[in-house]
Structure 1
Amino acid sequence: MTELHYLTATEMVRLLRAREISAVELMRAHLARIEQVNPAVNAIVTLVAERALEAAAAADASEPKGPLHGVPVAHKDLVDTAGVRTTYGSPLFADHVPESDDILVERLRNAGAIAIGKTNTPEFGTGSHTVNEVFGATRNPYDLSRSAGGSSGGAAAALATGMVPLADGSDMGGSLRNPASFCNVVGLRPTPGRVPDISDTAAWYTLAVSGPMARTVEDLTLMMSVMSGFDPRSPYSIKEPFAADLEAPVRGLRVAFSPDLGGLPVDHETAAVTASAAKVFERLGAHVEQVDLDLSDADDAFRIYRAWYYALSFGELNGLGANTAWNVEQGRLVTGADLARAEKLRSGLYQRMAAFFDTYDVLVAPVSQVPPFPVEQPYVDEINGVKLPDYLTWMRSAYWISVLHAPAASVPAGFTSTGLPVGVQIVGRPFDDAGVLRVAHAFEQATGHGTRRPSL
């Protein structure tokens, strides 16, 4: 049998319910795996082993109380966990211990999941490379000299190495999708409102979402069923119940393939893997058409909204790291005219994409424009000889999609010649999260790339 720590969460649930394994046995297996590999990758930064074992013993002594009863889970160090250190990746909060849980933590616990610890993130989730002054960098399990991506890089690396079967993350400009691509796991940026977020300062802000990460699409869907659901404290929370039929056929699906989203520079090996993904859909019986898609209006819209959010959320803090401080300064320059332009650009793009999705069911494109880069490198500053002006630019393939108010998944799609993972991005029409997962599952089953484990 597969080692306990590399079983799927779905299989763990089955074995736990059949009493073929105990929650304590399962938790000990994951704690042993963390002890074995975490020093090398630095994915889990706060471990609550004793608390987790006590919860596992309690789970064994009770009847299953939810769909994740007894399953270990890790929470990103951006979400509040009552009684457990939550630093947000910032020295300013290095010793911060929240008094209450975020809603997604509460929902996972109520479903029976057992928190094992917190996963690493850059300061306040700022950037697609997981490094901060509190805990240092998270390394890529497939090559320890490379980045695990970000900002949910700790979650992705923990999943890839079998430290947990499920982990939550968040995504403003690609933070669920980029690390999934870099670490050969799956991540879903849900339609905004599918997983409610509660805020006292930016309750209507829809660029940032919370979502699930896992090693398989089936596990991702299981986790989504727990995380999603209406909450009146979120003003755009979706009331429609979430349900996905992963086995529905994809034959006849209308797939739009964009190799560069309208002229973005894409690393040659990344481009080759993405192109091979389009061929997989052809073999599955989908109608694949390469499209000349221009999403460039998303750039200005994303940067304006992002900057405004950073000034609003972190503008009163002193001692911020360089990336966060830069975003705050950009936000202080935003004018009313800028916000008006961003709203107009985003509205026009939404309507054009609504027409686009009348013709196509999904868009297939690169997740990231490059494979995992050296861990000591702050960010990608050049692609195919094209110089990039700042630390955001290399992730346009992800953050342009964020502006569309659409669900988007990253699914393992292959490897570079040196064995670095590359994911493919599957984007659906707004609110069709179930459709994206169905397509992602079909691709995953047809390729099997996600079953390739790192050798540490």
Structure 2
Amino acid sequence: MPFPLSNNIDLPLIDLDATSQAELVRRGSLTAADLLDAATARYQALNPIVNAVAIFNPDKASQRLHRNSSGTVFEGVPTILKDLLAYPGLPASFGSRLLAGYVPAAGSPYTDAIDAAGLAVVGKSTTSEFGLLGTTESMVTGQTRNPWDLSRSTGGSSGGAAAAVASGMFPVAHASDGGGSIRGPASLCGVFGFKPGRGKTRSTGMPDDAPLSALLSDHCLSRTVRDSATWLRVTEKEGTANPLADAAELAANSPGSLRIGWFERDCFGDLPDPDVRIALSATVELCEALGHRLMQIDGPRLNRAGSGGAILDLMAVTTAHITGMVAPNLTASQSEQSLEPYTRWLVERGRGIAPSRIGEAMQTMAAVGHDFTKFLNGFDVLLSLTIPFTAFPLGEFAPGTDNEVLRLHFERSAAFTAPASMAGYPAMSVPLHVSESGLPIGSHFVAREGQEALLFRLAFQLEAAAPWLPRLQELSRRLTWPKS
């Protein structure tokens, strides 16, 4: 394993991943209440700096800790959920002023699994309104700041989770991904981001026939690979035919010599920024040094108008549906005018889309997934960059920016990650590199359906060869104890 479970008690909790923190509780070195107190102190110190937590309620977590059984894999480890996931007793604004004050009465099989794993849910992470933008700067919570450079964005829409984990506020945090909303922020914030394949995890309450359900995956952002592997193991759909092995077993088994196809250009044929391309070359060299067989390929190509328009229309229809559902329950002081301009634009677009267009868009997505499969022929894994740039300045793509500028930014942000989402394949962003200016750069790996274990074995190997946890530990110290 990358580092041992034991002998960690002399390290500050901010340096430990969730697996190590839970181990301290199980062996009686600390209590779950100790972990909660420490997380509260970190929240108080770090959230004013990065603004990654929208809701913080440790009392709710304390009540649940008394009901959780001992001996669970994440026993007593504090975490936060992205503010797009309903959890009983915690507000769910979905990053929107429209839903301010909404508190769901129930969670879902997914949140039940999180509770059963021993995690202590203390709050919600910031997100863009309804998860629509490639930055986390909503009008309800303000700007979430990248811990590596507080003048820059975390990306979106899981930017709050990424900032909270990168800063050390929490060792692991829930996130969700439609076109790259786990993997993009992971790259920009230097943490590990894994997207499970389609249908791999338990239900979050979204109907299977919802327009975007085929794209969406829920998982986490983490500081170590083993935390991510364990999170997936406990949230896997019950009765799955190919259950994931535990993290220790995955780490102990080499992925072997993999055939890896790598490519520079994104799905629209565009090149990434020069400083990011350097990182891709370094990842190719690292993989070759580990004994993998690499071949440069052209990579998948999407029709910008066809595939981009299909995703946009499905987002628009979904957003219009959400606002239509909540409209009857709005108070006199609430109005759709409180939606951000880009969201209102999508709602208007969605209400004008004929039902037949939804079917056409779904067929376009399915065709893209089918075509993407061809690029894996002859390879075990595909490698590219995760996102074609490093963290960008806050305000550049904030709500209120021209709608077309925001749409194009979202499109470019997802140009490496979206094809895997359309195909329903597992994928991950691995934080292997840092630019000359000190900003993280993630490398993106995709495998076939059902090959989550293969990706995790590769991730463990990469983590051992080029560990990133020391960088995150140093970042946490710099943020918590800044030099005078």
TM-score (norm 1): 0.90
* Aligned counterpart for 1:444 among listed residues 438, 448, 463: 463
SS in 2 for 1:296: coil
Corresponding residue for 1:189? 195
- The AA in structure 1 aligned to 2:434 is F
Q: Distance in 2 between matches of 1:218 and 1:192?
A: 21
Q: Distance in 2 between matches of 1:343 and 1:201?
A: 13
Shift of 1:201: 8.1
The superposition leaves residues 92-113 of structure 1 with CA deviations (integer Å, 9 ceiling, x where unpaired) of 1111111111332221112211
Corresponding residue for 1:100? 106
The superposition leaves residues 316-372 of structure 1 with CA deviations (integer Å, 9 ceiling, x where unpaired) of 252321222233344345456755654554444433433432310111111111100
Within a 5 Å distance, the mapping from 1:6-405 to structure 2 comes to 6-56=15-65, 58=66, 64=70, 66-197=72-203, 198-200=205-207, 202-203=209-210, 205-230=213-238, 239-243=241-245, 245-261=250-266, 263-297=269-303, 300-315=306-321, 316=324, 318-319=336-337, 320-335=339-354, 338-339=357-358, 342-378=361-397, 390-395=408-413, 396-405=415-424
Shift of 1:284: 0.3
Corresponding residue for 2:5? none
SS in 1 for 2:408: coil
Shift of 1:45: 1.4
Q: Distance in 2 between matches of 1:125 and 1:136?
A: 14
Q: Distance in 1 between matches of 2:302 and 2:353?
A: 20
Shift of 1:273: 0.9
Q: Distance in 2 between matches of 1:403 and 1:103?
A: 24
Q: Is the 8 A contact 1:43 1:119 kept in 2?
A: yes
Corresponding residue for 2:331? none
Corresponding residue for 2:7? none
Q: Distance in 2 between matches of 1:294 and 1:149?
A: 23
Shift of 1:306: 4.2
Q: Distance in 2 between matches of 1:211 and 1:76?
A: 10
Provide structure 1 residue ranges, at least 5 long, that are not aligned to the other structure: 232-237, 381-386
Q: Is the 8 A contact 2:134 2:155 kept in 1?
A: yes
Q: Is the 8 A contact 2:201 2:235 kept in 1?
A: yes
* TM-aligned CA distance change 1:51 to 1:388, over 3 Å: closer
Q: Say which is worse superposed, 38-47 or 103-112, in terms of deviation.
A: 103-112
* TM-aligned CA distance change 1:379 to 1:137, over 3 Å: closer
Q: Distance in 2 between matches of 1:377 and 1:388?
A: 9
* TM-aligned CA distance change 1:379 to 1:424, over 3 Å: farther
Q: Say which is worse superposed, 5-14 or 346-355, in terms of deviation.
A: 346-355
Q: Say which is worse superposed, 192-201 or 164-173, in terms of deviation.
A: 192-201
Q: Is the 8 A contact 1:177 1:398 kept in 2?
A: yes
Shift of 1:225: 0.9
* TM-aligned CA distance change 1:55 to 1:349, over 3 Å: closer
Q: Distance in 2 between matches of 1:23 and 1:411?
A: 30
Corresponding residue for 1:383? none
Q: Is the 8 A contact 1:207 1:403 kept in 2?
A: yes
Q: Distance in 2 between matches of 1:219 and 1:361?
A: 24
* TM-aligned CA distance change 1:201 to 1:389, over 3 Å: closer
Q: Is the 8 A contact 2:245 2:453 kept in 1?
A: yes
Q: Is the 8 A contact 1:406 1:430 kept in 2?
A: yes
* TM-aligned CA distance change 1:176 to 1:360, over 3 Å: same
Shift of 1:74: 0.8
Q: Distance in 2 between matches of 1:8 and 1:192?
A: 27
The superposition leaves residues 249-300 of structure 1 with CA deviations (integer Å, 9 ceiling, x where unpaired) of 2342111111123522311111111221111100100001111123214762
Corresponding residue for 1:384? none
Give the total of aligned pairs: 441
CA RMSD of aligned residues (A): 2.4
SS in 2 for 1:358: coil
Q: Is the 8 A contact 1:75 1:119 kept in 2?
A: yes
* TM-aligned CA distance change 1:247 to 1:407, over 3 Å: same
* TM-aligned CA distance change 1:217 to 1:302, over 3 Å: farther
Provide structure 2 residue ranges, at least 5 long, that are not aligned to the other structure: 1-9, 328-335, 400-404, 480-484
* TM-aligned CA distance change 1:431 to 1:404, over 3 Å: same
Shift of 1:43: 0.5
Q: Say which is worse superposed, 274-283 or 305-314, in terms of deviation.
A: 305-314
The superposition leaves residues 158-215 of structure 1 with CA deviations (integer Å, 9 ceiling, x where unpaired) of 1111111121111112110011111111111111111233324844730122112111
Moved over 6 A (4+): none
Q: Is the 8 A contact 1:229 1:242 kept in 2?
A: no
SS in 2 for 1:242: coil
Q: Is the 8 A contact 2:320 2:351 kept in 1?
A: no
Q: Is the 8 A contact 2:266 2:272 kept in 1?
A: no
Q: Distance in 1 between matches of 2:356 and 2:191?
A: 41
Q: Distance in 1 between matches of 2:365 and 2:210?
A: 18
Q: Is the 8 A contact 2:320 2:350 kept in 1?
A: no
Identity of aligned residues (%): 30
The superposition leaves residues 215-235 of structure 1 with CA deviations (integer Å, 9 ceiling, x where unpaired) of 11111001111111138xxxx
TM-score (norm 2): 0.85
